[in-house]
Amino acid sequence: VSALEVKQRWQEIKCTDKWLKMLGDWTKYGSSKKSLAVYKGIVYKGIPLVVRGWAWSLLLDIDKAKAENPGEDKVMKEKGKRSSRITYHIKVDVSRTLQNHVMFKKKFLKTQQELCDILVAYSAYNPEVGYHRHLSHVTATLLLYLLEEDAFLVLAQLLAGERHFLQYSTVGILPGSGGSYHARSRCCTSSSQRS
């Protein structure tokens, strides 16, 4: 182990300790405006892997979203399953998402099914955005750190939440995403796949 590796590990331990302290007393750290400025700097430096899901949940106030809309992901999942065309495209894209990662290697194990369910639910939840194939990579990353329901709520907060509202900027940053799947469905499917 080199001196540089030791230094990097030590910095990571210090950073993790800082995050654990803040997350452990979130009511103190998360409520003041001064804290928000500090968080921006700390988040910019990176959130340690071991606390990433917890930090995302608190920063995006997922508990509040769960309380305001209990079971919303399940309702949207059922609603989204009614569109076989979207479900077909999502399943194809999910099978190509993070293929080399241990959680996504085997076809339609639990994590792949959860990814598919979240994307189907989100397409029903926000029909204006619908489904973009690049959302599968974003959502898969969320699933690496969060439970299925939390990953859905984080995706919804990031793309349509009042604080973040990345919905319109997503269209510009996702390659080839010039509109929702709904708007592009005729050009994205062959006549035999259209329902």
Q: For residue 139, which phi and psi values (nearest 5 degrees)?
A: -65, -35
Contact 42, 18 (CB under 8 A): yes
Share of the chain above pLDDT 70, in %: 72
Query: How many residues are there in the chain?
Result: 195
Model confidence at 117: pLDDT above 90: no
b/e map 13-42, b = 16+ CB within 10 Å? eebeeebeebbeebeebeeeeeeeeebeee
Percent of the chain that is helix, strand, coil (3-state, to 5): 70, 0, 30
Q: Give the model's pLDDT for residue 177.
A: 42
Q: What does the pLDDT look like over 163-187, one tens digit per residue?
A: 555 554 444 444 444 444 333 332 2
pTM for the structure as a whole: 0.70
Task: Give the CA distances from residue 11 to residues 4, 35, 47, 195, in Å, rounded to whole numbers and listed in that order.
Answer: 11, 21, 12, 55
Q: Give the model's pLDDT for residue 82.
A: 67
Q: What is the mean pLDDT of the chain?
A: 75
User: Model confidence at 24, in pLDDT bands (50, 70, 90)?
Assistant: confident
Q: Give the model's pLDDT for residue 85.
A: 73
Q: What does the pLDDT look like over 54-85, one tens digit per residue?
A: 888 888 888 888 888 777 777 777 776 666 67
Domains and CATH numbers, the chain: 3-59 (no CATH), 72-188 (1.10.8.270)
Q: Which residues contact 59 (CB under 8 A, 6 or more apart)?
A: 39, 43
Q: If you ran DSSP here, which 8-state letter would residue 44 be given?
A: H
Q: What does the pLDDT look like over 28-48, one tens digit per residue?
A: 766 666 666 677 777 788 888
Angle between helices 3-24 and 33-45 (to 10 degrees): 150
Task: Give the CA distances from residue 57 to residues 6, 108, 149, in Å, rounded to whole numbers and listed in that order.
Answer: 30, 26, 11
